[in-house]
Structure 1
Amino acid sequence: MRNEFAWYLGAIALDFDHVWTTGVLTLDANVLLDLYRYNAETRESIFSAIGLFGERVWVSRQAAGEFFSNRRKVVVSAALDFDHARRAVDGVRKAVTEGLTELRKLRLVPRQVADGLEGGFTDAFEKAAAEIEAARLVHPDHFREDQILDRLLTVFEGRVGDGFEGERRDGVIREGVARYKAKRPPGYMDETTKEGDRRYGDVLMWLETIEFAKAAKVPVVFVTSELKEDWWEKGSGRILGPRWELLKEFHEQTGQPVLIYQTERFAHFAAERAGASLKPDIAREIREVSARRGRIQPPAVEVEHLPQVAEADENLGTLEIELLREVMMMTGSGRLEPPMAGVPEVRATVTASPAGCPPLDVRCATGTTFDFNVHIRPIERGRVLPVGHYVVEYECAYDASGSVDQDGG
């Protein structure tokens, strides 16, 4: 029995110190991409944890490829947090204004009550807006100078896997099809949420990691931000540990132990080994980023905003929109820099679309001076937008004496 279940007995009696001091660290693509989502302190804690392994690091070609394929989208998405924050503050301001209006209608309540509240809230809103803008200004522009990318390139220089090519890759994907049918981890939960060969990314990465450990004859510390059940055994609402199938397969194929961590646990143990403890704020941010990613469906559109005129009273340009999956409506957003002098009138026209695209209904919306949205859907109900490239020409104009019309054509 000991021989038959050596993988299990080894896992529960594993010499963790031996694996940490002799094993090779490898990271899933989501761990690398999350570095763009963290604040500076959390990001440094992850780099410090990686640094404990020195040259004992390696990344699969599959994970590296996914990192580079998704990097631009993640950089853009992370920068949009400032817009979301500004809109959230504007939403609270609107709700407070409406509440104060109702309060002033109550004639038995002294007017100074509402006036006092308004003064305090106004100061708070202005401070919040200023702090958000200050944070935006110091946020690094990763398209112009990407220190995160530079550091990762240095860490993994000469330490990237060979991956699978040609017939070997086709064979692994066929194996992935069979594994998913049998609900064998990892990755089977991607079958319905990703398209094409992308759904087999976890299998490609996992089997490449196994081949590396087998050839190098080394233990592996594997870190992922995945939360899904095709990586983790769950019970009573808790994650109990890695799926036993993964531990068994790794041991049987390589003869080596593997430690599989979520990012937070990895950062926690790394801090302990460095003689410190992981700060609660860092742990909380890692959890929040992982949870948020788990709730968000992969984006249907990629948008490139190309302004041609950017003035306080006029902004003209195009939105280049790549639709990645069929949808019934899509939205392209643009940023107005510098902010316009007032909320503008927005008009837009689709000037290019994929073959077979039905007639389109185009509507524009904005309630701010710093961004706008273009909503596109088929005129005929029940039709979908085909996958492909769309070009939208837009015009934003502010006239202090005019009114705002939010519909375009």
Structure 2
Amino acid sequence: MFDILQKLQERIWIPHQVAYEIHKNRLTVISDQSVAYKEIQTILDKNLAIGTLKDELFKNYKRHPFIDVKQIIEDIEGIINKVKDDLQATKQAHPDFLENDELWKQLIAIIDGKVSQAYSKDKLKEIYKNSEQRFKDLIPPGYKDDDRKKGDDKYGDVVLWLQLIDYAKSQKKPIIFVTDDDKEDWWLKHGGKTISPRPELVQEMLTEAGVRFYMYPSHRFLEEAQKFLTLPEQPEVIEEAREIREQKKYIDYLSAYSSAIENSLINSEMTEAIANMTKLQDRLINLDINQFS
């Protein structure tokens, strides 16, 4: 990934709001990543207790001529224990990014001198005031943060967006914005699929700056950058970027499994939850801890 960023270094530009949020949140993110192991362990212990399921299976299906209840229980216990063991192994291998973060040093070297100037306090106050009307009118981006974030933090996406527009005005060149923020106030979605940047964003950029606006999630940007730079394909890099976006789904699978146990749903729902837990196990085994820096 850093090879691609270095080759594109002269084209990279970072809105001040992005740099501000990175510095503001970095230490918290690092700490949260360390705490996550304990939190996931608690979720597993709380929601994946096998006792209730075992009692229900033996009570209702012990004498079934073709269903090996004991084997089912052993398989489920094996998956749960494997997930816990792999989680513990990953925790032990997790580097201390507070002590030494080489990836952070590389990133700083690449973006040095590429960050825009901060807006003045008066300018920010004006933006905050105008943002309230944008939120009421559901003008993207930012309105999805109105209830999610507190204080002035909820205006961050609007500040970022206006900095992008200002930069586009000065450069008179199309803008490619790379973000893994997948909220609907950035992306047009239909039928569960992400289609494109919100048309309002494309139109506002064209109206205000006179240039085209493109937006990619990180894994798609890396795919296109490899083609543009005629670099050797690095599917593992693309997969790692995609992995970061998808990890939350596997935590959701644990909730589905827990729900199936609580409702004694020994059916296709349970089967799907168990299958998804197996995927989670595979993800933990192959997890690249460096992606969390």
TM norm structure 2: 0.68
Give the Cα separation in 2 of the matches to 1:128 and 1:170. 49
**Partner of residue 237, structure 1:** 192
Q: Point out the structure with max Rg over C-alpha.
A: 1
C-alpha offsets along residues 36-94 of structure 1, whole Å, 9 cap, x if unaligned? xxxxxxxxx4x344334122211111111111221122112222332244345545874
Say if 1:275 and 1:178 are closer, same or farther in 2 by CA, change over 3 A. Answer: same
Shift of 1:275: 4.1
Say if 1:292 and 1:208 are closer, same or farther in 2 by CA, change over 3 A. Answer: farther
Query: Aligned runs of 1:60-209 on 2, under 5 Å?
Result: 60-87=15-42, 90=45, 94-95=49-50, 99=54, 129-209=84-164
| 1:282 is the counterpart of 2:240 | yes
Give the Cα separation in 2 of the matches to 1:145 and 1:56. 28
The residue type paired with residue 179 of structure 1 is R
Contact map agreement 2:9 2:111 (CA 8 A) in 1? no
Shift of 1:164: 0.8
C-alpha offsets along residues 338-390 of structure 1, whole Å, 9 cap, x if unaligned? xxxxxxxxxxxxxxxxxxxxxxxxxxxxxxxxxxxxxxxxxxxxxxxxxxxxx
Contact map agreement 1:221 1:258 (CA 8 A) in 2? yes
Shift of 1:205: 0.6
Shift of 1:211: 1.1
**Partner of residue 10, structure 2:** 55
| 1:66 partner SS | helix
Shift of 1:150: 1.5
Structure 1 residue ranges (4+ consecutive) displaced by more than 6 angstroms after TM superposition: 106-109, 113-126, 290-293
Give the Cα separation in 1 of the matches to 2:43 and 2:4. 34
Between the two structures, name the one with larger relative contact order (CA 8 Å, sep ≥ 6). Answer: 2
**Partner of residue 217, structure 1:** 172
Contact map agreement 1:172 1:204 (CA 8 A) in 2? yes
Say if 1:289 and 1:204 are closer, same or farther in 2 by CA, change over 3 A. Answer: farther
The residue type paired with residue 282 of structure 1 is E
Contact map agreement 1:225 1:290 (CA 8 A) in 2? no
| 1:137 partner SS | helix
**Partner of residue 264, structure 2:** none
Give the Cα separation in 1 of the matches to 2:164 and 2:181. 16
Contact map agreement 2:62 2:69 (CA 8 A) in 1? no
Say if 1:98 and 1:178 are closer, same or farther in 2 by CA, change over 3 A. Answer: closer
C-alpha root-mean-square deviation of aligned residues, in Å?
Answer: 3.6
| 1:149 partner SS | helix
Give the Cα separation in 2 of the matches to 1:234 and 1:119. 42
| 2:208 partner SS | helix
Shift of 1:187: 0.8
Contact map agreement 1:232 1:240 (CA 8 A) in 2? yes
More strand by share: 1
**Partner of residue 260, structure 1:** 215
| Runs of 5+ consecutive residues of structure 2 not aligned to the other structure | 252-293
More helix by share: 2
Contact map agreement 2:226 2:232 (CA 8 A) in 1? yes
Contact map agreement 2:219 2:239 (CA 8 A) in 1? no
| 1:225 partner SS | coil
The residue type paired with residue 78 of structure 1 is Q
State the identity as a percent.
28
TM norm structure 1: 0.51
Give the Cα separation in 2 of the matches to 1:118 and 1:224. 43
Give the Cα separation in 1 of the matches to 2:56 and 2:190. 50
The residue type paired with residue 201 of structure 2 is L
C-alpha offsets along residues 1-41 of structure 1, whole Å, 9 cap, x if unaligned? xxxxxxxxxxxxxxxxxxxxxxxxxxxxxxxxxxxxxxxxx
The residue type paired with residue 94 of structure 2 is H
Give the Cα separation in 2 of the matches to 1:206 and 1:223. 12
Give the Cα separation in 1 of the matches to 2:84 and 2:225. 37
Contact map agreement 1:263 1:286 (CA 8 A) in 2? no
**Partner of residue 278, structure 2:** none
Contact map agreement 2:48 2:80 (CA 8 A) in 1? yes
Shift of 1:165: 0.8
| Runs of 5+ consecutive residues of structure 1 not aligned to the other structure | 1-44, 294-409
| 1:184 partner SS | coil
